Amino acid sequence: MTTVVAADNAPLITSRAAGWINRNGPVLAAFAAIFALWEIGVRAFAIPDYLLPGPLLIASKIISSWQLLLLNAVVTLEEILSGFLLSVAVAIPLAVAVVYSRLFERVAFPFMVSLQTIPKVALAPILVIWLGYGILPKVMVAFLISFFPIVINSVIGMRSAEKEMIYLVQSMGAGELTTFLKIRLPKALPSIFGGLKVGMGQAVVGATVGEFIAAENGLGYLQLISQVRLDTTLLFAAVVVLSFLGVLLFNIVGWIEQLVLPWNRVATEIVE
């Protein structure tokens, strides 16, 4: 594999690149068009930078302030991941409890579903009072907001096994644990990953909002400071980095999904 002659390899690479362009070309073209229009508009109408900086200016700001952005991004990333992992650690065992316990099914689950309608962001100021200015309130907001999609999707997934499937393994003498490990859990994984993807996006929102309310660092905090200083370009730069972080984290979950569930791609992808 490693000793492929370059000449033989070249057409493969070109065809791969062609495939990549085929798939992603339209999206890239759309982004390029928007940025071009934006840049042209900003220059043509001489819009001041404190109102709307052009994409080139934002790009150069990101490059010149990369250390500042990186430092704050690391803080926000830590909050997002802590909140998200806490969600996973609580939501999945809870989903198992809902599927296996009548009490949890009848009381806890409807309770959680009704709690979901509370705007969790509105709880952030209360959490600051309780938990102070450190990382904890941001982690808690990220946790609260990403928790519900994960638990609900996990429950739906674990309930999705057909009754014949359960009969089948029971007739083979499987107990509850075996049934769970061999049937319910793998059957639920696509749905669980759906919940994880939504939850990851929500955790980014939660951490940022937490920083808006009370923080001493982080991308949300940087945005707040830039706003006060009317440094709109830095504000945009923070938005770009935050968006990049969100997309990256979402895709990492997606990559893990593809790695863990190769069969799911086979089942859902349309063969060309």
Partner 1 sequence: MAPVEAIERSPTAGVPIVIRGVTKHYRAARGGDVHALAEIDLSIKAGEFVSIVGPSGCGKSTLLMLVSGLLAPTSGTIEINRLPVKGAVPNIAIVFQRDVLLDWRTVLANVLLPVEIKKLDPVVHRQKARELLRSVGLSEFEDKYPAELSGGMRQRVAICRALVQGPGLLLMDEPFGALDALTREQMNLDLQRMWRRDRNTVLFITHSIEEAVLLSDRVVVMSSRPGRIADVVVNELSRPRGAHTRSEPRFVEHVERIREHFLALGVLSET
Residues near partner 1, by CB under 8 A: 162, 164-165, 167-174, 178, 182-183, 186-187, 189, 261, 263-264, 266-267
Q: Which is nearer to partner 1, 159 or 187 (CB)?
A: 187
Nearest in space to 146 (alpha carbons), one of 135, 154, 134: 154
Contacts of 251 (CB under 8 A, 6+ apart): none
In the bound complex, what is the minimum distance in angstroms from residue 16's beta carbon to partner 1?
Answer: 24
Q: H or E stretch including 269?
A: none
Counting Cβ atoms within 10 Å, is residue 123 exposed (0-12), middle (13-18) or buried (19+)? middle
In the bound complex, what is the minimum distance in angstroms from residue 256's beta carbon to partner 1?
Answer: 15
Q: Which is nearer to partner 1, 55 or 254 (CB)?
A: 254
Q: Which is nearer to partner 1, 113 or 181 (CB)?
A: 181
Is residue 148 within 8 Å of residue 112, measured between CB atoms?
A: yes
In the bound complex, what is the minimum distance in angstroms from residue 181's beta carbon to partner 1?
Answer: 10
Counting Cβ atoms within 10 Å, is residue 121 exposed (0-12), middle (13-18) or buried (19+)? middle
In the bound complex, what is the minimum distance in angstroms from residue 178's beta carbon to partner 1?
Answer: 6
Q: Which is nearer to partner 1, 15 or 178 (CB)?
A: 178
In the bound complex, what is the minimum distance in angstroms from residue 174's beta carbon to partner 1?
Answer: 5
Contacts of 76 (CB under 8 A, 6+ apart): 207, 208, 211, 218, 219, 220, 242, 245
Q: Which is nearer to partner 1, 129 or 177 (CB)?
A: 177
